[in-house]
Structure 1
Amino acid sequence: MEAPPDPRATWDLPGFGRMPRTAELEPLVTRVLAPNPSGMTLDGTNTYVVGAPGSGQAVLVDPGPDDAAHLAAVEAALAAREARCVAVLVTHHHGDHAEAAQPWGAHFDAQVAAARSDVAGARGRLLEPGERLALAGTAVDVVPTPGHTGDHLAFRLESGAVLVGDHVLGRGTSVVTHPEGDVVAYLESLRRVHDLGPSALYCGHGPELTEDPAAVLEFYLAHRAYREEQILAALGDGSGTVDELVATIYAAYPREVWPAASQSTRATLAKLVAEGRVEDDGAAVRRA
């Protein structure tokens, strides 16, 4: 059983810790990297400044941590575009993406928009899957991408690029959190983004993926299937706990990622149980 090859392995992507703080990705988009690197956030959270050149307006997507230095960098990016912030969009409720949403919305006097009311706030807007937002001289399509979390959204731009939040990462693979995450929904969301034919994937963490976005999405789908086969192989004819499965499957990975791996493993087991391929008695799991 071989792991599917990651197409990004041959791409000329910046090494870890070498992403520029601010980068112009295309006429519509500037990326600003937040200073919150970690094993889970990779280089840090990517905040995107989106707007048509010359419109004098911009939208912030995933403001990230409520950090003064990060806010200053975002304000500098807005000034470089000669734009004011007119809205704050959030892909999902995790703090490394959403913490600054309401404080910055108040700071810029801009409406916050998200899939959950606790993220959008009392003056915010609840986004509906499939709606088109006319903002900052451009159009932004709201794409439902549940799986990593139940409220996860992606945003498709007129250029064809998709801001994918934590649905796809610039490095490695995304965690399907448990119990709020759902592997079946995640796989459907991967196919949904693939069917959009994105020109680029602008990720919540890690570098932008522009060389062959479809190949990355296909790898993500293959990777999930591979993890299922690993679980079944690790169980063999016996049984095991989630911790035992993680220790076997992720033996070559740093232990600091094992808690996240445990979440994804539990989410994958839920799918396998629903399909009747695995049984779970609450103490251990075994092949059905």
Structure 2
Amino acid sequence: MDAPVDPRRSWTLPAPGDLPRVAEPEPLVTRVLAPNPSPMTLDGTNTYVVGAPGSGQAVLVDPGPDDAAHLAAVQEVLAARDAEVVGVLVTHHHGDHAEAALPWAARFGVQVAAGSGDVAGPDGRVLADGDAVVLAGTRLDVVATPGHTRDHLAFRTESGSVLVGDHVLGRGTSVLAHPEGDVLAYLDSLRRVHRLGPSALYCGHGPELTEDVGAVLEFYAAHRAHREWQLLDALRPGARTVEQLVAHVYAEVPRAVWPAAEQSTRATLAKLSATGQVVRGAGDSWRLA
């Protein structure tokens, strides 16, 4: 099986490290980049300020790290929009998205809404698929997108764009970390987002995706299928350990991301085991069923 081609290769997107600190992809949404770049967070975490222009209000989606400089940048955007915060939404519980949720909500005197009670806090709102958040002169529809994490949510705006958290990245592909990462759930969530027919994807990391977003979602599904094929092909000669599989499948990927690749490999093996294609062997090895 040939590796699928990422359609974003032909797009004009900011190079790694060049993502603007602040951007307004549409009047309803402003993105503010947090200063926490890393191999896993790309340029950093994207915090979104969402609200109808002229409403005087805004919702913060994924406030990110509890960082004073990031808070100051968000407050500058709020001042430019002449808006006060009326709510904090979180796509999932990972600290690079959720750390600032409760402290910032307390600072602004608002409620946190998220997919788990641990993130929403004792006074927050736990969201489920099909819910709606009506604040700041607009409506955000809640779409459950488990797979990256169990509590992962996406938020669809009235314009048709979708804030997808870590379900889709602006660059590269999402990590599904075993044991929480669930490939079967993730693939189903990809289909769910695709059926929405999004006009744009606003990602938790990396640039906004505003061209053929359907093609990106199809690439993500094809990428997961290709990884499965690579693992099955690597196991044809006989059993291999997870470490050996990672070294084989990710040979051309920088070793710095191999620990994350190992977690994705374990999640994919769990999916292949659930579908009866592989079985665990001795120790940390796997073989074809």
Give the TM-score range, shorter chain: over 0.9
Could you state the TM-score of these two structures normalised by the residue count of structure 2?
Answer: 0.99
| Counterpart contact for 1:50–1:58, Cα < 8 Å | yes
Where does residue 257 of structure 2 map in the other structure? Answer: 257
Equivalenced residues, count: 288
Where does residue 287 of structure 1 map in the other structure? Answer: 288
Question: Which segments of 5 or more consecutive residues in structure 1 lack a partner in the other structure?
Answer: none
Q: Distance in 2 between matches of 1:282 and 1:273?
A: 15
Q: Deviations over 1:199-243 (max 9, x none)?
A: 000000000000111000000000000000000111113001111
Could you state the TM-score of these two structures normalised by the residue count of structure 1?
Answer: 0.99
Where does residue 202 of structure 1 map in the other structure? Answer: 202
| Counterpart contact for 1:177–1:260, Cα < 8 Å | yes
Q: Distance in 1 between matches of 2:274 and 2:48?
A: 38
Q: Deviations over 1:38-78 (max 9, x none)?
A: 00000000000000001110000000000000000000011
1:157 CA displacement? 0.2
Q: How does 1:216-231 map to 2 (within 5 A)?
A: 216-231=216-231
AA partner of residue 6 (structure 1): D
Please give the secondary structure, in 1, of the residue aligned with 2:208: coil
Please give the secondary structure, in 1, of the residue aligned with 2:130: coil
Q: Deviations over 1:68-108 (max 9, x none)?
A: 00000000011111100000000000000000000000011
Q: How does 1:1-288 map to 2 (within 5 A)?
A: 1-281=1-281, 283=283, 284-288=285-289
Please give the secondary structure, in 1, of the residue aligned with 2:198: coil
Please give the secondary structure, in 1, of the residue aligned with 2:112: strand
Please give the secondary structure, in 2, of the residue aligned with 1:105: helix
| Counterpart contact for 2:239–2:281, Cα < 8 Å | no
Please give the secondary structure, in 2, of the residue aligned with 1:12: coil
| Counterpart contact for 1:232–1:287, Cα < 8 Å | yes
Please give the secondary structure, in 1, of the residue aligned with 2:74: helix
AA partner of residue 112 (structure 1): V
1:129 CA displacement? 1.2
1:128 CA displacement? 1.6
Q: Distance in 2 between matches of 1:110 and 1:46?
A: 20
Question: Which segments of 5 or more consecutive residues in structure 2 lack a partner in the other structure?
Answer: none
The alpha-carbon distance between structure 1 residues 282 and 191, as it changes in their structure 2 partners (threshold 3 A), is farther
Identity of aligned residues (%): 73
Q: Distance in 2 between matches of 1:232 and 1:178?
A: 18
| Counterpart contact for 1:237–1:286, Cα < 8 Å | no
AA partner of residue 258 (structure 1): W
AA partner of residue 271 (structure 1): K
AA partner of residue 20 (structure 2): P
1:281 CA displacement? 3.0
| Counterpart contact for 2:113–2:127, Cα < 8 Å | yes
| Counterpart contact for 1:51–1:136, Cα < 8 Å | yes
1:282 CA displacement? 5.3
Q: Distance in 1 between matches of 2:19 and 2:143?
A: 27
Q: Distance in 2 between matches of 1:56 and 1:23?
A: 19
| Counterpart contact for 1:199–1:210, Cα < 8 Å | yes
Between 1:116-125 and 1:214-223, the stretch displaced more is: 116-125
Q: Deviations over 1:144-174 (max 9, x none)?
A: 0000000000000000000000000000000
Q: Distance in 1 between matches of 2:181 and 2:172?
A: 18
1:2 CA displacement? 1.4
Q: Distance in 2 between matches of 1:48 and 1:11?
A: 23
